[in-house]
Amino acid sequence: MQVTKQQVSPTSVTLTVAADAAAMKEVKERVLRDLSKNVRLQGFRAGKAPLSVVEKNIDQQVFQNEFLDRMLNRLYAAAVDEQKLRPVAQPKVSITKFVPFTTLEVTLELQVVGDITLPDYTKFHLVPKKVTVGAKDVDEVLDNLRSRAADTADVTRAAKTGDQVVIDFTGTDAKTGEPISGADGKEYPLVLGSDSFIPGFEAELVGLKAGEHKAFTLTFPEDYGVAALQNRRVTFDTTVQKVQSVAKPKLDDGFAAKVGPFKTLAELKADIQKQVRAEREQQTQRDYESELLENLAKKTKVAIPKVLVDEEIERAEQDERQNLLYRGQTWEEHLKAEGVSESEHREKQRPAAELRVKAGLVLSEVAEQEGITVTPEELEIRMQLLKGQYTDKTMQAEFDKPETRRDIMSRLLSEKTIARLAKYATA
């Protein structure tokens, strides 16, 4: 096989590949052997006729098509491997020369990842943040548990901080008066002073009685979780259906026994501290790994094909659409709230998408440079652990699919590579 490479752009390559005679002879014979299994020739058992006889008695168009299909796959894989390319999509293939079974030359137009230049990751340092759990953290969990177990009773007086109110509310844009999806609720229970709504909302309801109505305008915080509502002025039209007093249970050993297998309040507090610490450690570790990988990606030089970033944007948009659906907001409403067109929204996502793609390439390149692999034993152990989490046979069967095994292997490789980077970063 002879390969000539033309670098059209940092992410576009054209390969001219000429097959050698030995490879074509081998593929030709394999195709004939496979086709002979379905050819019946007088005087020969199925699949036993000489290949020269089979060749004369089969459909030549079928023969050539099968030969070309196999040769193209073989040439493509060999050429990509020889040139050490990272293709990101199916190539555009053109057959430039073909004399049946003796001469074959093709051109392959490829979109590829450009050369990757990593920073010296062995000297990159990043110290993980320390995890602390104080008495205040434990008290917050205890208060939440007490709130869940609290008894409520309807009252006729005005609501005060600490009461629970059951409200109906709608939110509209303060300028246009248009309804805002996700800013409304029916018979919603809200404990005043819990700070579970945006700042100022709960304070507006203090002093109201059951059956009373109030409209007020608030500005959503600039760091609000929903981007479309950040810094947005919204008018809430609110009706109080009920005002209820809240009687929390006494915080003692008896309460501890009710909420879990604890004999004393001290045991409950110790368990809460343990659980909170474990959750924070896991989150801190995830944040640390993300920061480490992001910092390395920012310092890595690589030309990324547009199609790869477009696919990443598409995946992110699918997740975003799903979240909007869960909140009861349409994609069109979301775009309108942000004041952008669909194409403008996609372009806003491009920098972050490029960084995520680059991070994935960093992991792949580091794994290759460090010789990090996943052994069959490691994969099997992980597969068995995952299967053990499900009792449903249908779910367990999913783990036996080749694509699932490949996905799990990819995750394992990423985990091992990130662990290696973290080892360098904390040395």
Q: Pick the residue with more confidence: 416 or 175? A: 416
Identify the helix (H) or strand (E) that includes residue 6: strand 2-9
Confidence (pLDDT) at 222: 87
Q: What angle do CA 346, 347, 352 make, to 5 degrees?
A: 90
For range 283-310, the mean pLDDT: 94
State the average pLDDT for the chain: 91
The residue among 220, 227, 50, 246 whose CA lies nearest residue 166 is 246
Mean pLDDT, range 396-413, rounded to an integer: 90
Whole-number Å distance between alpha carbons of 86 and 336? 39
Query: What global pTM score does this model have?
Result: 0.76
Angle between helices 331-338 and 342-370 (to 10 degrees): 100
Among residues 164, 204, 207, 203, which one has the least CA distance to residue 187?
164
Q: What is the pLDDT of residues 93-105, one digit of tens each?
A: 999 999 998 999 9
Residue 48 has pLDDT above 70, yes or no: no
Per-residue exposure over 348-372, b if at least 16 CB sit within 10 Å of its own CB, e if not: ebeeebbbbbbbbbbbbbbbeeeeb
* pLDDT tens sequence across 316-371: 999 989 888 877 778 887 888 778 899 999 999 999 999 999 999 999 999 999 99
Of 211 and 47, more confident: 211
Mean pLDDT score, 158-171: 95
Question: Are β-strands 92-99 and 103-111 bridged in parallel, bridged antiparallel, or unpaired?
Answer: antiparallel
pLDDT tier at 35 (50, 70, 90 boundaries)? confident
Instruction: State residue 56's pLDDT score.
Output: 82
Measuring CA to CA, how many Å separate 151 from each of 178, 324, 325? 38, 34, 34
Looking only at the bridges linking them, the beta strands covering 151-154 and 185-191 are unpaired
Instruction: Please report the pLDDT score of residue 394 as a whole number.
Output: 83
The first and second tokens of residue 185, run together, are: 């609720």
